[in-house]
Amino acid sequence: MRPTGKSSAPAKLYRRSALYVGALVLLLAARSAPAQVAGSIQGKVTDASGASIFGAVVTVQAADGSSRLTVTETDGTFQITGLTPGQYNVKVSASGLSDWTASDIPASTTPGSEALLAVMQVAPNVTSVTVGLSPEEVAEEQLKQEMQQRVLGVIPNYFVAYENNAAPLSVHQKFRLSLKTLIDPTTFAAVGITAGIQQIRNSYWQFGQGTEGYAERFGAAYGSFATNLLVTSVLADSVFHQDPRYFYSGQGTKKQRAWYAVKTAFLTKGDNGKWQLPYAGVAGTIAAAEISNLYYPGVRTQYSLIGRGLMFHFAGLIGLNLAEEFLFKKITSHVPEESAQQAAVLREGTPVMLVAVDGFRTAGPATGQTVTFVLADDLTQSGRVLARTGDVASGMVAQVTSPSAGGAGSIALKDVILREGNVSVPLRGNQVRGESTPVQYKELPGSGKVEVTLFVAANVAVPGQE
C-alpha cells in the first residue's frame, strides 16, 4: 500500500534533524581543530672572513617546485615568512661567490628559532677579474701572458690584449711593457735595418757614411722609437689614464671587425674601461716630434715634423690594428685559450628580473632617487651563464606611481646599468625599443622586498662563465 503524506512526515523530520546534527558536529570539529601555522626560514649570510654580505639573493624551494626569494639586509640577515610547514631547499647567490645550498631545511613555526648561517666562498670558476684579487694583481697575471706573445714566435706582440676582461695597467706595468719592447733583440734588429736603409739611400746626409754615419743613424732611429714609446705609452698614458694596448675583438662579421680596427685607431680605452679620444697618443706623438727635432739634422719645421708624426701615427695604427684583428692572432704564440676569450652576445630585449636591495620597498621610492638592484636569476644562453644571480645593477627613478591595494605599483627608471665583471649592460623598462612607459613592480611574498623586470637595451658581448 502506498504511504500517505502524514505517515512520511516523521521520516522527513528525522532525516532533516540528522542533517542538522551532522553539520553541527562538523562545524564544532572544524572549530576545535588547531589552525595550521605558517612557517618561516631566516638566517644570515657572510663571507669566509665573517663579514656580512648585503644584497645576496636567497631562494627557498618547496618539494612541489614552487619557490620564493628575498635579498639580505645590510647586516647579512634574511627572512621569508608565510611558508607552508614542510622541508625546503635553500640557495644563496652573490656576485663573485660560489652558490651556497642546503637541503631539507624546515620552515620553522617557532618564533626565535635557530637561524641558518650561510658562509660563502670565492667562486673558483669566476674570471680572474672577480675572484678577489686586486685589479693590479689581475693585470700582473695577464701582463705575464702578454709579454710572451710573439708573432711567428719571434716578433714581440706585447701590446695586444686577447682577454675580453683585461684589467687596466698601473704606471709601473705600462713602463715594464714598454721597457721589455725597447730592449728586445728584435727591436734592435729592426732599428738596425732601418738605419741601414737610410745609409744606403743617404738619408740625413749630414750624418755622413761609414761606421760613424751608421752609428748616428742607428742612435737617431732608436732614440725616436724610444721617445715615442716612453712618452706615449708610459708618460702620457699614465697622465691621461689610458691604456696603450689594442683590445682584440674577433666578434661579428669581417666588415664589423674591420670597422672596429679602424675606429680604434682614433679611440683608446681608458683605465676606467670606457672608450675615449686618444689624448695620450696625440700628445705623445707631438712630444716625440718636438724632441726628435733636437737630434735629427735638416731644416724641417716643427709643424712638418708634427704633421708627419701624426699622419704616420694614425696610418700606422690603422694598418697594425687590421693586422692584429685578422692575421697576427693566428701566428702569435702564447695566445690565451679560445674558451677563455670568446664572448657571447646578450641580446637586446632579454628580460632581466631584479630585486631592489636599496632605495625602495613596497612604500615606493621618490623621483630622482638612486635605486640598487641585484639580479634575481642567472641570464643564460645555450646553457652558458652570461650574468650570475646576485650581480648588481643601479639606476635612477624618473617617475613612480604608488602601489595599489594588491601591492603593485609602477616605476619609470633611467640609466639602469647591470654590472657583469668589467662589462656594463644597459637596461630599459620596455622590451620594445622606443617605448618609455613605466614598468610594474610588486612585493615579493613573505619578504617585503620589491621585484621589477627590465630588459637589455642593446646587444652586449659578455664573456660567459663556465
Interval 28-43 mean pLDDT: 66
Give Cα 53 distance to the centre of its chain: 19
Listed range (286-290, 381-385, 461-465) with the worst mean pLDDT: 461-465
**Cα distances (Å, whole numbers) of residue 83 to 60, 65, 408, 456:** 10, 13, 21, 33
Interval 344-352 mean pLDDT: 83
pTM above 0.85, yes or no: no
User: What CATH number has the domain spanning 344-462?
Assistant: 2.40.128
In this structure, is the dihedral angle defined by the CA atoms of residues 184, 190, 191 and 192, taken in order, positive or negative? positive
Mean of pLDDT over the chain? 81
> Quick one: pLDDT at residue 169?
92
Interval 20-34 mean pLDDT: 54
State which amino acid sits at residue 51.
A
Give the integer Cα–Cα distance in Å for 142 and 404. 52
Question: Residue 146: pLDDT band by 50, 70, 90 thresholds?
Answer: very high
pLDDT of residue 109 exceeding 70, the answer is yes
Show the DSSP H helices in 147-236 as ranges: 171-182, 185-201, 210-229
pLDDT of residue 239 exceeding 70, the answer is yes
Helix 302-326 to helix 254-263 angle (10° resolution) is 150
DSSP 242: B
Beta-bridge partners for 275: 269
> Quick one: pLDDT at residue 342?
54
Q: pLDDT of 56-67, one tens digit each? A: 999 999 988 888
Q: pLDDT of 362-375, one tens digit each? A: 556 677 788 888 99
> Quick one: pLDDT at residue 134?
64
| Sequence-ordered list of residues with C-beta below 8 angstroms from that of 262, at least 6 positions apart, any chain | 318, 321, 322
Interval 400-412 mean pLDDT: 67
Q: What is the spatial order of strands in the sheet that 100-106 belongs to?
A: 67-71, 57-61, 87-93, 100-106
> Quick one: pLDDT at residue 404?
61
Domain boundary assignment for the chain: 39-120, 129-340, 344-462
User: What CATH number has the domain spanning 39-120?
Assistant: 2.60.40.1120
Question: Residue 24: pLDDT band by 50, 70, 90 thresholds?
Answer: low
Question: Residue 1: pLDDT band by 50, 70, 90 thresholds?
Answer: very low
